[in-house]
Amino acid sequence: MPKKVENVGCPYCGVCCDDLVVTVSDDGKKILEVENACAIGNEIFHHATRGKRIQLPRLRQPDGTYKDISYDEAIDYAAKVLYNAKKPLIYGFGSTNCEGMAAAAKVAERAGAVLDNCASICHGSSFLAIFDNGYPSCTLGETKNRADVIVYWGANPAHAHPRHMSRYSIFPRGFFTGKGHKSRKIIVIDPRHTDTAQVADIYLQVKQGHDYDLFNAFRTALRGHEIPAEVAGIKREQILEVAEIMKKARFGTIFYGMGLCHSDGRNHNVDIAISMTRDLNDFTKWTIMAMRGHYNITGPGAVWSWQFGYPYCLDLTKKDIAYMNPGETSSIDLAMRDEVDAFINIGTDAGAHFPIEAVKHLRKHPWITIDPNICMASEISDLHIPVGIVGVEVPGIVYRMDNVPIQYRKVIDPPEGVLSDEEVFERIFKRLGELEAEEAAKGPAKAVPQGIRAEE
Amino acid sequence: MANRITLNMITQRSIEEGVAMEKGKTTPEYFEACSIIEMHDDDVRTLGLVPNQLVKVTSECGTVIVKVVKGRQSLYPGLAFIPQGVWANQIVPPRTQATGEPQYSGFPVTVEPANGERRKSALELVQGAVGMWRGDQ
């Protein structure tokens, strides 16, 4: 009999849906059906057992092809690359569990590396604004149960967080919101008339890159001052109408996304969004929340803040002193200034998602990819170490976009012999310790790893 | 009609890109989901383009060939959209305003018909950029 596993967490986006039902074949090797997931989550589960998976680490050969090697050899190679590099960068963590993040942080500290996560190119601006201005936020449950006005600003959950609207914001019937979407006002502010805008009561087509102006106009209007006839492409009457709706809400939540973080202004856009939320609290209860992208990209912020005091862009090159300065210690800036001499891509795909100029710089040095799948990063690496898929084959703790930790489970075993991210980093950590001991025993000469480019 | 126009580019997620990405970045689905550009009808008319025509998009730091499609989500004239991914990142400026975040949205590009040029695959673009492309294996 195929087995149904209930209450499964989804390893796709920051909504962390935990109501999936996954049907697994009799032998426990194949995923047959996934219920409740969105199109993307569905694909992640089916992809795990649909085709052939990489089961052994692969090392780049002088002719450009990959050769299968053992995990022991791969761990040794990775440890030696880290050991020999002056300033290695370990980046990614959008798609792994907190256990893997903690283990990687141990490695980064021992190796004297820079440790960074995908927030660096995503909600890093939010961190900067939150440091400066606080974070009047709430949990998604509070939004579901209390909110009668929802604002999506520069966010398109219909595409990026497909079940966010049905689980938490627009449609669900909560404790004090029994009429569901009928009793909620939805305001969408975006330069594109997105699929999210289709379900809005009010849509404001803000001029791209002028979000700050519009926030400023709202703040001015909320304080009862005059505003110009048009701001950022939006008419005064519409601004006043929306300001009035926000003031009269019982409970409101502003969900914002990459429209603010990726445009001109970056953290300043988020900063003024937080200020507007604070202003609104003079009238009624308002909260704000970053639409965090991947299911556990909130995780490294929580784990590393606990370990080192900083959530991202962590410079551990002095080993026992943690230092953070985005713009200086952030992955893209380090890459563009050629300041790192080895790169570990873990649980992300920098090959596809970094601007290509940054990829070119990083590729001048040894590049190691730790990922379950073939991706752009794995296809330009010196070494690709396959791992089990968290949430499908590996259990662990993840943090939802509202900083709520959730224990994820596994529904099948990983392919035979394939390790987890945590196991890979624990073994690299151990090997680094051995290399340090060997060096201490024989003097100042440095170990040289096997394989091409390793001499660098 | 103009030979080329300057537009304001934004690159963000689309659900088609999300599904295809999880299926695999070397799949035809990913290629079709990401190697496209959406523009306002007025801008398409200005360039005299027909649907599915290929265009060359050039930013301050690169060039990419993509296909013009009519998206479900409409833009205003002057704004253009390429889904996040390999093709978008050929032209995304790596400048970060000292925050670590590249300029994924809101950078000027020129768009012109791509005469005789083809869309490259994801692997060709990424491996090609770092000198590892060995042709269709």
Contact A192 B104 (CB under 8 A): no
- From chain A, the residues in CB contact with B98 under 8 A are 326-327, 333
Cross-chain CB nearest to A121 (options B13, B98, B100)? B100
| Assigned domain for A221 exists | yes
Residues A229 and A167 in one domain: yes
Domain total in chain A: 3
Residues A95 and A144 in one domain: no
| Assigned domain for A447 exists | no
| Assigned domain for A449 exists | no
Q: H or E element: which one contains A334?
A: helix A331-336
Q: Which CATH number fits domain B5-129: 2.40.40.20, 3.40.718.10, 3.40.50.300, 3.30.9.10?
A: 2.40.40.20
Residues A157 and A247 in one domain: yes
Residues A314 and A191 in one domain: no
Residues A130 and A118 in one domain: no
The residue of chain A with its CA nearest to that of B94 is: A355
Residues A22 and A144 in one domain: no
C-beta of residue B59 within 8 angstroms of C-beta of residue B108: yes
The residue of chain B with its CA nearest to that of A191 is: B75
Residues A148 and A267 in one domain: yes
Buried b (16+ CB within 10 A) or exposed e, A342-355: bbbbbbbbbbbbbb
ipTM reported for the complex, 2 dp: 0.97
Domain that includes residue A401, residue range:
54-122+295-442
C-beta of residue B51 within 8 angstroms of C-beta of residue B41: no
Residues A316 and A425 in one domain: yes
Task: Flag whether residue B133 sits within 8 Å of chain A, measured between CB atoms.
Answer: no
> What is the pTM assigned to this prediction?
0.95
Task: Flag whether residue B118 sits within 8 Å of chain A, measured between CB atoms.
Answer: no
The CATH number for A434's domain is 3.40.50.740
Q: Mind telling me how many Å the CA of A164 is from chain B's nearest CA?
A: 13
The CATH number for A248's domain is 3.40.228.10
DSSP, collapsed to helix, strand or coil, labels residue A268 as helix
- Selection from A1, A22, A27, A3 nearest residue A11 by Cα: A22
Q: In whole angstroms, give the CA distance from residue A239 to residue A234.
A: 7
Cross-chain CB nearest to A208 (options B15, B79, B125)? B79
Q: A403 — alpha (psi -120 to 50), left (phi > 0) or beta? A: left
Question: pLDDT tens digits for chain B (137 residues)?
Answer: 789 999 999 999 999 999 999 999 999 999 999 999 999 999 999 999 999 999 999 999 999 999 999 999 999 999 999 999 999 999 999 999 999 999 999 999 999 999 899 999 999 999 999 999 988 65
| Assigned domain for A454 exists | no
Residues A186 and A276 in one domain: yes
Q: What pLDDT is recorded for position A180?
A: 85
**How many C-beta atoms lie closer than 10 Å to residue A184's C-beta?**
20
Mutate to test the interface with A, among B61, B72, B99 (most CBs of A within 10 A): B99
Q: In whole angstroms, give the CA distance from residue B55 to residue A315.
A: 42
Q: In whole angstroms, give the CA distance from residue A188 to residue A255.
A: 10
Q: Mind telling me how many Å the CA of B76 is from chain A's nearest CA?
A: 7
Q: In whole angstroms, give the CA distance from residue B96 to residue B86.
A: 19
Tell me, what DSSP letter sits at residue B20? H
| Assigned domain for A450 exists | no
Residues A223 and A262 in one domain: yes
A162 phi/psi in degrees, rounded to 5: -55, -30
Task: Flag whether residue A12 sits within 8 Å of chain B, measured between CB atoms.
Answer: yes
- From chain A, the residues in CB contact with B104 under 8 A are 121, 258, 262
| Assigned domain for A174 exists | yes
Last residue of a domain, one of A250, A268, A290: A290
Residues A235 and A93 in one domain: no
Residues A339 and A393 in one domain: yes
DSSP, collapsed to helix, strand or coil, labels residue B68 as strand
pLDDT along chain A (456 residues), means of 10: 95 97 95 97 96 95 96 98 98 97 98 97 97 97 97 98 95 89 94 97 98 98 97 98 98 98 97 98 98 97 97 95 96 98 98 98 98 97 98 98 97 97 98 95 66 55
Task: Flag whether residue A375 sits within 8 Å of chain B, measured between CB atoms.
Answer: yes
- From chain A, the residues in CB contact with B13 under 8 A are 156, 159-160, 258
Q: Mind telling me how many Å the CA of B110 is from chain A's nearest CA?
A: 17
